[in-house]
Amino acid sequence: MLPPRAPAGESRVATFRVGRHGAFGYRAPMDAAPYEPLAWQHLRGPDVAALDRARTIVWVAVSPLEVHGPHLPTATDVVEARGFGRAIMQRFAERFPEVTHVELPAYHVAADVLPHAGSVAFRPATVRRVVEDVAASLARQGFRHVWLTNFHAGPRHLVAMEVAADAVSRRHGARVLSVFSLLLAHLNGGSQEIADVLGPLPGIARDDLVGDAHGGALETSLMLHLLGEHVAADYAALPPRTVAMALAAEGRPPLPDLGGAALGALVRRFRETLAYYHRTTYAGAPGKGSAAAGEAALARLGSVSADALAEVWLGRVRPEDLRSPLWKARHLLMAPLLGDLFERWATGEPPRV
């Protein structure tokens, strides 16, 4: 069978580098040995029973298999979620050496994936059920700290994870939190622009990260660092593309920012973004990416996130105080019928029969 045709205007690149990293490899900064958590799937029953529940954090990556431009593998968000988690563990272990970190196998379950061949989509209700079931199972075993990692910014995916975490936390008295929501809510003031958090990166100017939301300079850099052998060799030839650039070319007003935006503004943002990704599979400047920038970005994200999570670990900040800007629209985003009608309206597709 022939591979699927790339969306109009994009080249399809199938040349992959051959390297030495595993399918879900993690590379720590060069000045530190990689932190290796316990792998849940390798533990025996007595090993799990021996874990100190009060000093153990169970990490669960929940991200999709999704198309990220013509140059990155579909496992991009999962690899980044695990790399992000490991970077936090690295910093966290330096401050709290008494804490044991255990990592579950990743769950490739997500809503709001790009609607192109290669993406595997789930309903928000499914994401919520999966996260609830996993977290509740761990909570019933006595684990009080379950931290969810993710690197997929689909609005219904983020909300589904937050709703599930909140439900299990209240029902079982555990601390279940979505780390990516913390990143949006606590570290970046509710804005999707992450340039201020990352600071200077090798070869990437701040303006290169404006609108860099999917498969652009940041994610290309992260993947070159984490799993470079599976990045298409001619990624640098891809031109910059963003939602804002598309709107400007059509003479339309820019998107409202997530931070403090009214519900109507959020709806417009989601609609324009959905429509854009039905036409295009990346947003940003992939050609600016480099492994060095990915290493620096991951170290920075790990450092600032670990500092914020330390406040949660010490009980100074509650997980429920770290809601993403999408939390206020959770009832709308999690309503199955409304979600389906909204997506059809946003993309101009006919309603399902």
Q: Is residue 165 part of a domain?
A: yes
Helix (H) or strand (E) holding 302: helix 291-313
Cα–Cα distances in Å, from 61 out to 152, 174, 238, 240?
A: 11, 18, 29, 29
CATH number of the domain that residue 71 is part of: 3.40.50.10310
Q: Which residues contact 350 (CB under 8 A, 6 or more apart)?
A: 344
- The mean pLDDT of 190-195, rounded to a whole number, is 57
Query: What is residue 78's predicted lDDT score, i.e. its pLDDT?
Result: 97
- The average pLDDT across 224-232 equals 97
More confident residue, 12 or 163: 163
What's the chain's Rg over C-alpha atoms?
A: 20
Q: How far is CA 141 from the centre of its chain?
A: 27
- Residue 164 domain-assigned (yes or no): yes
Assigned domain for 13 exists? no
pLDDT for 12 equals 35
| Confidence at residue 258, expressed as pLDDT on a 0 to 100 scale | 58
Domain count, the chain: 1
Q: Which of 78, 92, 98, 103 is nearest to 24 (CA)?
A: 78
Instruction: Categorize the per-residue pLDDT at 283 as very low, low, confident or very high, splitting at 50, 70 and 90.
Output: very high
280 domain residue, yes or no: yes
217-241 mean pLDDT:
97
pTM metric for this prediction: 0.84
Residue 198 forms part of a structural domain: yes
> In the chain, what percentage of residues exceed pLDDT 70?
80
Amino acid letter at 268?
Answer: R
Do the domain assignments include residue 313? Answer: yes
pLDDT tens digits for 98-129? Answer: 999 999 999 999 999 999 999 999 999 999 99
pLDDT score of 4 more than 70? no
How much is the pLDDT for 331? 81
25 in a domain, yes or no? no
Q: Please report whether residue 243 resides in a domain.
A: yes
User: Given this model, what pLDDT does residue 20 score?
Assistant: 31
Q: Answer yes or no: is pLDDT of 180 > 90.
A: no
Full residue range of the structural domain in which residue 256 is found? 38-347
